[in-house]
Structures are given as C-alpha cells and as structure tokens.
Structure 1
Amino acid sequence: GKAPGGGAPGGGGAGGPGGARGGGSVVLARTDIHTVQPGRIEAGIAISGTLRPIETVSVRARLEGDLVALNVREGDAVREGAVLAELERSEQEAALRSAEADVLAARAEATTAQWNLDQTKELHQAGAVAERDLRAAEQTALTAQARLAAAESRVKAAQSLARDTRVTSPVTGVVEKRNVENGERVTRGQELFTVVRADVLELAAAVPARRASALARGLEVRFTADGRAIDGRVARVSPTIDPQSQSVTVFVQVPNGNGVLKGNTFATGQIIERGYDGQLVIPQSAIRQTAASAGAVPFVWKVAGGALARADVKLGIVDEARGVVQVTEGLKPGDEIVVGNVGLLGAGMQVQIIGNESARGPR
C-alpha cells in the first residue's frame, strides 16, 4: 500500500548546521556513503523491556539425606530427566530389597491359598467337603491376595523412594543456581538448584491503552538486543488496562534455541502493525537537523559532482527497529548521502572517497 508521510525521527542526528561552512575538503570512507534506493519500511508500536527466560524451575530434594554426588555446576546445559545430584541410598535400597522379599513370600502364600481353594471346590462339588470349609478356603485366598497387593504397593513405594535419591531436572535448560555442595545433608523440600528454560525468552512491555486495539496474538516484533537484530512474536495480551498507568501489558516471545541471548538482556523494538515496500528509506544516522532558531529542518548531506550539497527532506515513518526512516520528499533513487557522524561538514566542501566497499544497505 501507499505509505503515509509526515513526522520526523527523534534526536535529529549529528552533523554541521547545514551550509554554515563553504569550501574546504573532507576525506570519507566508502562506508560513510549510502546510496539511496527503494526498500521496506515498517510502522508499529515501540516497546522495550527485559528478556527473561520463559520458565524458571526450582529443583528441590524429595528426601532428607546426605549428598554423595553433584553432577552439574552453574551454567551447565541439562536435558529433561538428567541426574543433577544423588543422595546416599543404602537405606532406601535395603527397604526395597525387604519389600521385594515380602512380595515373593506373599505371592507364594497366595499361590498356595488359590490351589487349596481349587481343591476344596472340587471336593465340595463331590460332596466331600462342607460348605463352611469352602467359605473358609475362599476367605483364605482373598486374604492372601490382599497381602500380595499390599506387598506390591510397598515395593512401588520403596522404588519411588529409591528413585527420589536421584535429583533430576524437570525441564531442558541451563543451571542458573546451585545452592549446595557435595557432602551436605539436605532436608526434604530444600531448594538444591534453579534451572531456567532459555530456549525461549519473553518480554513483558507496557503499551499505551490508546493502542490496545492494534494488539493481537501473532503480530511480528522486531528487536535490537545486545547489539543483535532479532525477531519475535506477540504471545499474549493482557485482557485489562492498568488504571494507574493507562497501559496494557503485552508479552512477546523470542526463540533462543542457540542460546546466544542471555536472560535479563534489555531489548528495544517495535510491534509491526503494517509494512510498506518500495519506499525511499535511508539510515537514521544520515539525518541532520538545523538549529531550532532556523526551524529545526531535517536535511542530509548529498554528494554530487564530488562536492557536498545540503538536501532538505521530508520524513515519514520512522522504523526504530531497523534504524531507518522513510523519505517522502527531497531525495531520489541513486542519490549518494553521508551517514554517521563524520565531523563538521558544509555545503560546497570537496569530497574525497577512499575504499571500494559499497554501502547500499541501511546502517
């Protein structure tokens, strides 16, 4: 679609006061020159905040006991189910062996009781055994089966206790904290480790209530964090407006499977509402501004015929996430302009460009 015009980027930009100096010369690197060309500009809602792990899990001891092995340190990556630590288990193993022996005895008793019942039934049918003897045999078999079931339950409980001597990670992630040392005695419920899921990071940002209607799950988000450009998506939007700040909280998730981004990294970006292709876009670092007394007019330094010329521009959408701004008037494709802070410049200065690198992408 056709992009709207108007507006100006914040901060103005560095540079001289626009035509304040004439003559002289300046040496610029090829990377200080940007060739204007059509590109994409995206309009959206600016947000910022801290990227935090999507899940933080406290790993606690299920039993009281002495630590005999610690298998991880802070910063180690772990898989779900990995054994982080081990407790002394001789007591639990002894209890398990005893319970297993009880099961063997109970199973033998139940087998014998069932055989006796089968024999009593045959004799009863032949009229050789009284009804009360049959009922007694049935009761004995039921009691034996109940004892076997109870013994098997005790084995399961003992197995569970034995398993609990191994402290495992409930999630795939990274060990953030290790709160114990080998040989310590720990109590049931004591926190031993903190494991964070860092494969996805989440940012909670406040958006003005007047923009709430534009928010929706799945919207793309462009971020800059730790010097990197990253993409995310809106995962959730709060259903209520904060009455004090008159803002809505939006939750943005960022994939981080390679672990490059660390938790608690500050990020800035924007939620993309719409994008426009084929627009004249230039780096924000190319924009200069005249003094307030001169109207604070935005302009760029254009290189034409080997010399600098001031070109006043009208600006449209500012794309903070990409670091570019739309130019609606004042430039055309193919124009070469100066980007960044390269010192005091003036109209008419001769330009010497060194280096052969092209600088055609927004920087």
Structure 2
Amino acid sequence: MKRWIPWLAAAAVVVLVGGGAWRAMAARQQQQKALAQAASQRAEAPMQLAASELVGVVRRSLVLGVPVSGSLRATESAMVKARVAGELQGLTVREGDSVRAGQVLARIDATESQARLRQAQQQADAARAQVDINQRTVTNNQALVNQGFISATALVTSQASLESAQSTYRAALAAADVAKKSLEDTVLRSPITGQVSQRLAQPGERMPIDGRVLEVVDLSRLELEALLSPADSLAVRVGQRAQLQIEGSAEPVVATVARINPSAQAGSRTVPVYLAIAQNRGAPALRQGLFVQGLLDTGRADVLTVPLDAVRTDKPAPYIQAVRDGKVAYLPVKTGARAVVDGQTLVAVEGAPEGTVVVSGRMGQLREGTAVTTAATPSAPVAAASAPATRPAP
C-alpha cells in the first residue's frame, strides 16, 4: 500500500499543473479574442477628416514655363593683347576700373619699332633718289635719240631701269607703312567702353605676340545662355519673357529670348537659347558670372490641378488618395506642369475627375479602403495660378 503513495502524489501534481496551464491558455485566448474584437470595432469606426486635411481637384489656368539656369555673361567683351613682342610699360588700370573705347591702357617698348621705321623710311628715301636719277637718265637719252647721237636701244634700257627703280621705291614705301603700323601696335587701346574684369600681365613683363594683357567687359548688356533639352526648346520663341532669380537677391530679373541657336550641341544634344537681361533702374547690380535660375514663360494651359504633396510616389505610378463613397481609394494619375502660387506648389494631373476630394499630403499614406468621414467641404488650393508652371521632366 505504501508503494502507491508516491505515484498518487505525482499524479496529483500532474493534474494540478495541467489544470493551471489549461486555465492560463484559456485566459490568453479570451484576452486575444477581446483585443481582436476591440481592433475590429476600431477598424470599423470611420476616420474623421477635417476640411484642412482634404483638397480638391480644381480646374485652373496655369502659365507653362521651361526652367532655365546658367551664368550671366557680357554680350560684348574684348581681350586686349600685345600685337608686337616687347616689354610691357605704362599699365596702370586694374580690375573694376572703367575705360573708354580708344583709351590708351598700356604700351609695348617701342625702341625696336622706332628703329625699324627709321630704317624703312631711309630705304624709301634712297629708292626715291634712285628713281630721280633714272628719270633724268631717261630724259637725257630721249633728247640724244631725237638728235641721233645714240640708238633707241639705250633709251629702252634706261626706261627699264626707271621702271625697276619705281618698283623698288613702291616696295620701300610699303615696308615703311608696315614699320609704321608696327610702331602704332605698341600702343594698347581699349576696343570697347566698359570695365576691366581681368588683369593678366604686369608692367615690366616681356610680352609675346598675342600675349593677353587685359579683359574688358561691357556690363550694360548682359545675357544668359540657357541649355534646353530638345523637348523644351520646341516651345521657345524669340521675344518670350522669363523671370530670373539671382542667388542671394529677392528681386527678380526680367529677361527676353533674343536668339535661339539653330544647331544642337553635339555631345549633350541640348539647344542653346540666349536671353537678354533687362537693365532697369533700381534693379540689383548685375555682374558677369552671376548664377541665375528661373522660368521661361511659354504659354498657358487650362488643366486640372492638385497640390503637389497630395500626389504620392511610393508606388511605380503616381497616385492620389481620393475619397469615394466614404472610403479611401487609390487613383492613379499622370502628372504634368507645375506652378508655385502663394507658396503652394500645384501640379497638373490627368486621370482624376474635376471635383474629386483628395486626402492632403500632410496626412501621409492611408490604407486603401479606410472608412473616412469629412467634417466640411475640402479646402481648395489657391484660387488663381499666376506663377509660371514648369514642364514635367521627360
């Protein structure tokens, strides 16, 4: 009898442990069921959206625009170079100094040029004297031939000598002109009116022929060379206007398309477009090399728009979260031109009917099919779009 007591005790322990485990599992299942029911009830409860959390698909007229950017450059600029070799003298102007067209900026040592000019002039004088001698010889021979003292052959020979002397004289005069031009080239003058932008040499330097000394730019006429894609360039016409922004300045700059390059660049296939900058009184001071960017107005389009942040791009195709029949529905759209109006970026969309209620971008992504209720009419984007709209990237 005593042998069964341990076995009975062990069995009792097993029964007690098993019962406790069963009760714990039952309690856990009951808790999970309650949580699931609560979650189901919460899921079935619609999400309350305020009017500020909704936007609408609105039709409006957008100003189409092509983005342009680049550095300003002077329409007229000139590089002052040494036309003769020699020592640079008399260079006093520096960067920022204003100069006039024809103003003497520097000189090249003219000692050698002056000596060559004197030599050429003396050779011309000698040739002229030889012409005079031959001319008198021809005159005398003509008289002697008429009197029969010499033959006509001597006259012909003297006439040939005269013609040769005259040719030598004309060559000497041309050489003197070349020497005179070389002497004039020792004076470096400004070809245009403007300002010195670069000083590339110092007084006392030995300048070679075509050695660069100064660069002069005319800031009264500036332009922007914008490189446009082939698709964007098709809408550009001479006379169209652009609003440009200078880095660090709040004042916009107006520019007008002055020229369009007839050829695309070989490497990038971009088309250069040249915009003339309007220099108005009171406008910010413009300098060559300043970086500007802005939009070139190319026309208007009547399109359906939504705020850009309402278009989601976390899927292969862009879409908006439309509210249909009290639920969130993903509606694929095709985006187009953009415009910044009163600080809000609008984008043209295709695939969404006018008046569609859309969840604002600040609400983030909502699960498709989420039940929602709206408190009031959705807030539409700004009433009028007057800012240029950028074309979508191809």
Give the shorter-chain TM-score range. 0.5 to 0.7
Q: Is the 8 A contact 1:269 1:320 kept in 2?
A: no
Where does residue 252 of structure 2 map in the other structure?
229
Where does residue 387 of structure 2 map in the other structure?
319
- Quote how far apart the aligned CAs of 1:43 are: 4.5
- Quote how far apart the aligned CAs of 1:320 are: 4.8
Q: Is the 8 A contact 2:241 2:257 kept in 1?
A: yes
- Quote how far apart the aligned CAs of 1:126 are: 4.6
Where does residue 60 of structure 1 map in the other structure?
81
Where does residue 361 of structure 2 map in the other structure?
292
Aligned positions, number: 267
Query: 1:260 and 2:281 equivalent?
Result: no
Whole-angstrom distance in 1 between the partners of 2:182 and 2:143: 45
Where does residue 294 of structure 2 map in the other structure?
269
Query: 1:168 and 2:193 equivalent?
Result: no
Where does residue 238 of structure 2 map in the other structure?
217
Which stretches in structure 1 are left out of the alignment for 5+ residues?
Answer: 1-16, 21-40, 277-282, 296-309, 322-363
Where does residue 250 of structure 1 map in the other structure?
273
* CA RMSD of superposed structures (Å): 3.8
Whole-angstrom distance in 2 between the partners of 1:49 and 1:95: 50
Equivalent positions of 1:328-339 (< 5 A) are none
Q: Is the 8 A contact 2:341 2:385 kept in 1?
A: no
User: How much identity, in percent, do the aligned residues show?
Assistant: 27
Whole-angstrom distance in 2 between the partners of 1:288 and 1:236: 31
Question: TM-score, structure 1 length as denominator?
Answer: 0.61
Where does residue 316 of structure 2 map in the other structure?
none
Q: Which amino acid aligns with 1:99?
A: A
- Quote how far apart the aligned CAs of 1:18 are: 8.5
* The one of 123, 145, 150 aligned to 1:124: 145
- Quote how far apart the aligned CAs of 1:104 are: 2.5
Where does residue 175 of structure 2 map in the other structure?
154
Whole-angstrom distance in 1 between the partners of 2:265 and 2:382: 37
Q: Is the 8 A contact 2:64 2:388 kept in 1?
A: no
Where does residue 103 of structure 1 map in the other structure?
124
- Relative contact order (alpha carbons < 8 A, sep ≥ 6): 1 or 2 greater? 1
- Quote how far apart the aligned CAs of 1:85 are: 1.1
- Quote how far apart the aligned CAs of 1:146 are: 1.6
Q: Residues 110-158 of structure 1, C-alpha deviation per residue, up to 9 Å, x if partnerless?
A: 2332243234334434544311111121022112112211211221121
Where does residue 201 of structure 2 map in the other structure?
180
Whole-angstrom distance in 1 between the partners of 2:250 and 2:167: 68
- Change beyond 3 A, Cα 1:109–1:73: same
- Secondary structure at 2:177 match in 1: helix
Q: Which amino acid aligns with 2:257?
A: V
Q: Is the 8 A contact 1:43 1:275 kept in 2?
A: yes
- Quote how far apart the aligned CAs of 1:240 are: 5.0
- Quote how far apart the aligned CAs of 1:262 are: 0.1
Q: Is the 8 A contact 1:71 1:83 kept in 2?
A: no
Whole-angstrom distance in 2 between the partners of 1:314 and 1:68: 66
Q: Which amino acid aligns with 1:204?
A: E
More strand by share: 1
Q: Which amino acid aligns with 2:286?
A: L
- Quote how far apart the aligned CAs of 1:167 are: 2.0
Whole-angstrom distance in 2 between the partners of 1:68 and 1:253: 38
Whole-angstrom distance in 2 between the partners of 1:59 and 1:100: 29
Q: Residues 288-320 of structure 1, C-alpha deviation per residue, up to 9 Å, x if partnerless?
A: 99962469xxxxxxxxxxxxxx98555454425
- Change beyond 3 A, Cα 1:293–1:101: closer
